[in-house]
Amino acid sequence: MIPIATRKFLLEKKMNSLDSKANKTLLLEAEDMLLTGGYRVENNQFASDGKVISLHGGDNNDVGGASFEFDGNDGKYDLKITYFDENDGVGQIKLKHDDKTLKSFQLDRQLGSAVADEQTKTTLEIENLEINKGDEFTLEGIEQGSQWTAEHTRIDHIEFIPTKTTPPPPTQSEKPTAVKPVEVELEFDVTKQWNGGFDSNISFTNNGEQFQGWTVEFDAKFEIDKIWNAEIVSRKGDRYVIKDVSSNDNVYAGETTTFGFTADTDGKTITPSNFVFNGQKIDAEIEEIEETPPSPSSTPTPNPSDKAITVGFEQHNDGTKYNQSAQSKDWDVNWINKGQMDNYAFITDDEVHSGVKAFNWDDFCC
């Protein structure tokens, strides 16, 4: 068996060899990883390099690990794990990234064969993962069942597929180039507003050359509850940093990109400011967020016309009631909550009223 130190040297050498061409898919064979527990290497003609790692041949319900240190360029990658899922039991594979479990899945599919062959060879993908040089990965396999009926959790290889251009670090002989000014127009629009919150869109139009990847930063006191077509990278104090998603990271010349969010304002008048696009300050066209008035009462009071007069009535202790039909003979009256004598009546005709036209009442009215 190859000593651990020697195996680590060979693994790093292999990763360096794979990474000699920047931004190409990196493929790492499972048998080249640092194996622990019950994992052992076995020959298999259907594997990419003629070998796989397997838990077969040891104790029942074995557990094993295959670890390595990523030595490629920093960037975003899609990961693809190639393994065998046979018709002979249930197994489990866990992928860990710096001791954090990224994915845990079972090997329990019925693919029509009980051996590790082309029919049971399958893959699992994890998209858009941020990876840096030196990150540690571990594939943990779990076997379940007896030696002859268990799924032995055979793994072939893992691939790292760049999702966007990740340039190699510049050499000492290279001179840094000047940063091109941002050529975008950015707008902030409120699409819907209510007391204490609002919906909004932020749109930017690329007036320059095509570019890939973007971030928008701004100051705001509101709290974003939900966001679409973008991701919140961070919020420190009142400063938001928002970035692209995989569906809109590539922005062509003349293209307009839009994302939106719902925010809570706590009833305050607040508007975002100090916009920065891809690290450069930018002037934005901003629609002000205004305070919204309180909701109207459940029983709105009609306003009298300009020429009408409003008259209030007192409640008599002796039980006097007002005769609505008698009142209406002399006046056009709108009675509010009739039957409640402490409320108001409104004159609704447009005539100027003067003189001694009196309101009549009848002690014996209904």
The reply to whether 15 and 156 lie within a common domain is yes
- Same domain, yes or no, for 152 and 209? no
Pick from 225, 258, 286: which residue ends a domain? 286
In a domain, 176, yes or no: no
User: Which residue among 246, 262, 286 closes a domain?
Assistant: 286
Top mean pLDDT of 50-64, 69-83, 100-114 is at: 69-83
CA distances from 107 to 38, 65, 226, 302, 365 (A): 17, 16, 36, 71, 87
**CA-to-CA dists, residue 127 to 61, 172, 221, 243, 245, angstroms:** 30, 34, 33, 17, 12
Rounded Cα–Cα distance for residues 273 and 366 (Å): 65
In this prediction, residue 114 carries a pLDDT of 86
The mean predicted confidence, pLDDT, of the chain is: 76
Q: In this predicted model, what pLDDT tens digit does every residue of 229-245 receive, in sequence order? A: 999 999 999 999 999 99
Q: Are residues 273 and 323 in the same domain?
A: no
Residue 174 within a domain:
no
Beta bridge partners of 204: 186, 257
Whether 145 and 199 share a structural domain: no
User: Rounded CA gap, 237 and 64, in Å?
Assistant: 45
Residue 243: CB atoms within 10 Å: 16
Q: What is the widest separation between alpha-carbon atoms in the chain?
A: 118
Q: Are residues 113 and 196 in the same domain?
A: no
What integer is the mean pLDDT of 187-197?
90
Q: What is the distance between the alpha carbons of residues 200 and 227, in angstroms, rounded to a whole number?
A: 10
Residue 275 and residue 208 share a domain: yes
Region 4-24: mean pLDDT is: 51
Of residues 57 and 189, which shows the higher confidence score? 189
Residue 263 maps to a domain: yes
173 part of a folded domain: no
Q: Is the pLDDT of residue 361 over 60?
A: no
Q: Is the pLDDT of residue 326 over 60?
A: no
Residues 6+ positions from 200 with CB-CB distance below 8 Å: 188, 189, 190, 191, 260, 261, 263
- Tell me if 145 sits within 8 A of 94, measured CB to CB: no
* CATH number, domain containing residue 195: 2.60.40.290
Average confidence (pLDDT) over 3-12: 50
Same domain, 190 and 267: yes
The tally of domains found in the chain comes to: 3
Q: Between residues 30 and 170, which one has the greater pLDDT?
A: 30
**Is residue 55, in this structure, part of any structural domain at all?**
yes
For residues 328-333, average pLDDT: 52
Instruction: Indicate if 254 and 347 belong to the same structural domain.
Output: no
pLDDT of residue 236: 94
Q: Which amino acid is at 264?
A: D
pLDDT recorded at residue 22: 53
Structural domain span for residue 221 = 184-286
Inside any domain, residue 86 = yes
* Residues 14 and 150 placed together within one structural domain of the fold: yes
Please tell me whether residues 261 and 362 are part of one structural domain. no
Question: How is 158-227 classified by DSSP, letter by letter?
Answer: EEEEESS--PPPPPTTSPPPPPPPP-EEEEEEEEEEETTEEEEEEEEEE-SS-EE--EEEEE-SSEEEEE
Q: What's the whole-model pTM score?
A: 0.43
What's the pLDDT score for residue 271? 85
pLDDT value, residue 118: 92
Residues 44 and 129 in one domain: yes
Residue 171 counted as domain residue: no
- 291 falls within a domain: no
Which of residues 314 and 262 earns the better pLDDT score? 262
Query: How confident is the model at residue 302, as a pLDDT?
Result: 44
